[in-house]
Structure 1
Amino acid sequence: MDCITKVTRDIMQQDTFQEITTDCLPLDGEKSHREQRSIPGETVVALFVNGRHAATTLLSPGSLEEYTTGYLFAEEIIRRPEDIESIRIEENRISVLTKNPFRITGRRRTILAGCGGSTSYIDTASLPSIESDYRVSSSLLTSLSSQTCSPEHGIETAVLAGNDGIIAWYADIDCTSAVDRAIGSALLKQTDFSRTCLVISGLVTSEMVRRCLLAGIPVIGSIRAATTLAVRIAAEQHLSVAGFLTDDNLCLFTHPERIRGSG
């Protein structure tokens, strides 16, 4: 796993996540003293596509071109980076022009209770199926989870990798945004998604499954569980889902045939 470790260090040095130093007052028994702590950065960004407001998102600063590319792909506004004419990034605004400005950008959306946001309506009939014969070792999945998906400081992370190493590593205050950055970065690199796996720190939800299916990623894993809807859609569309990625608790929810070492 030396190759994985080295690539991880190199990628994590990129502009993938920003922390801000702030004053705080830790309580240590009866004594207290002011000190500085690093906390995750958060910003509000409004995204406009062809002059129309598409979304307002709370996310971590940095890597906004990768995020925008991944988000537009996940929302099916673009199919490839070449569909983008230009991206203009300002302080709290991202303006995108596509090469086909008449393409409909509105999609049905479902409100997510308790998080104040929304996500795309999932039309399972229109989702592609995974046809890749890619296989990955269970030891690689657990290695990726332990090295890159530890939820330190409350942040969420997403790592896209192949058998030869890590392709993209991103952290964000929201796991979906981290995944959008990772997929966006890989799109810009013209990655063959059919030979990759995605490992995340958050729950494997139906939205995570939908993103994998659109990109053609055959395997997704998490240090946490998968939701019932995610498992159902993944099973129907031939996506492999693994959860609880620790050495002694790894659980394969769907299509275990892609995971070597699963018996």
Structure 2
Amino acid sequence: MADRFPPAVSSAALSVQRENALNVHHALPEEVPVAMVFDASTLAVMMASPADIEDFARGFAITEGVITDPCQIEKFEIADHPAGIEARFWLSEDRRDALAARRRLLAGPVGCGLCGIDSLAEAIRPLPQVADDGLRLSRDQVAGATDLLRDLQPLHNQTRATHAAGFLVPGQGIVLAREDVGRHNALDKLIGAMSRQGIDPASGAFVMTSRLSVELVQKCAIAGCPAIIAVSAPTAHALRLAEDAGITLIALARNGGFSIFTHPERIQTKVSDVA
């Protein structure tokens, strides 16, 4: 699979600058169709980077509510085809009703989390409440989170065209990171990798290189992570969801500063009110 679908390819281009034009080569991130197949039936087709496919598939299964525990996966395999990749699951019998409830055909650019949804109600489905299990982050830990993540993005360094998601643990920094052309996919890959490695999402915060959309907050809540930090701004609806779900939402985290929008009790810093 790695030979057929490398994470990046070299492409020729004509670089036109103010004083000259040069023939150059650019590294471009690859994206391929990835079919999520459960019990021999396709649930979704996502466009994604071809690296860390098992992490992506497992994270997708968790955040879509197909599984609630890794032990519900009886068998998993990856099959590559000329047109793309299949991530194949065989599930325990008790998950088949849940799978039927979530069944949809989803095909959209760069893994849009809402493309192809059958019912508008699915876009605003109720989220679980994230408990306050004692996570506390210092001001310096939050302020430096996106800088730490920047050092863990080899595909972005090569292509300048991918997003990343990382997991920040107090006293340890970012312990795990994943990249993808889509921010939703990057977070699914991270959640899947954490599940495989037995890392508890309640023990830290997600860190994103993107804006904070509804889908990212939904994935955060379903995974049970109490905080999410991003370099860009949230949408208004994402903020409302985070407030209701008990998630600490921190955005605009760059250049040593950040803004706390919801549940500031998890951040150990005194904030002055500014009119």
- Aligned residue for 1:188? 196
Which secondary structure state, in structure 2, belongs to the residue aligned with residue 169 of structure 1?
Answer: strand
Alignment length, in residue pairs? 247
Amino acid at match of 1:157: A
Q: RMSD of the alignment, in Å?
A: 2.7
1:216 shift after superposition: 1.4
Indicate yes or no: 2:253 matched with 1:245: yes
Deviating beyond 3 angstroms after TM superposition, the runs of 4 or more aligned structure 1 residues are 111-118, 122-126, 149-152
1:53 shift after superposition: 1.0
Structure 1 portions without partners, runs of 5+: 1-16
Structure 2 portions without partners, runs of 5+: 1-5
The whole-number CA distance in structure 1 between the counterparts of 2:45 and 2:108 is 17
Q: Which stretch of the first structure deviates more once superposed, 113-122 or 57-66?
A: 113-122
Indicate yes or no: 2:81 matched with 1:95: no
String of CA shifts for 1:14-57, please: whole Å, max 9, x gaps: xxx92222211111335322222111111111121111111011
TM-score, normalising length: structure 2: 0.81
String of CA shifts for 1:192-228, please: whole Å, max 9, x gaps: 2211100101121221111111121111010101111
Evaluate the alpha carbon distance shift between residue 154 and residue 240 of structure 1 in structure 2; reply closer, same or farther with a 3 A threshold: same
- Aligned residue for 1:57? 46
The whole-number CA distance in structure 1 between the counterparts of 2:109 and 2:34 is 21
- Aligned residue for 1:146? 147
The whole-number CA distance in structure 1 between the counterparts of 2:109 and 2:58 is 27
Amino acid at match of 1:136: L
Amino acid at match of 1:141: V
Amino acid at match of 1:155: T
Evaluate the alpha carbon distance shift between residue 137 and residue 108 of structure 1 in structure 2; reply closer, same or farther with a 3 A threshold: farther
The whole-number CA distance in structure 1 between the counterparts of 2:210 and 2:163 is 7
- Aligned residue for 2:181? 173
- Aligned residue for 2:239? 231
TM-score, normalising length: structure 1: 0.84
Which secondary structure state, in structure 1, belongs to the residue aligned with residue 98 of structure 2?
Answer: coil
1:245 shift after superposition: 0.2
Q: Is the 8 A contact 2:127 2:221 kept in 1?
A: no
Q: Which stretch of the first structure deviates more once superposed, 204-213 or 67-76?
A: 204-213
Correspondences of 1:118-137 after superposition (within 5 Å):
118-119=113-114, 121-122=122-123, 124-137=125-138
Partner residue of 1:201 out of 198, 209, 220: 209
Q: Is the 8 A contact 1:122 1:210 kept in 2?
A: no
Evaluate the alpha carbon distance shift between residue 213 and residue 118 of structure 1 in structure 2; reply closer, same or farther with a 3 A threshold: closer
Q: Is the 8 A contact 2:213 2:234 kept in 1?
A: yes
The whole-number CA distance in structure 2 between the counterparts of 1:230 and 1:108 is 24
- Aligned residue for 2:3? none
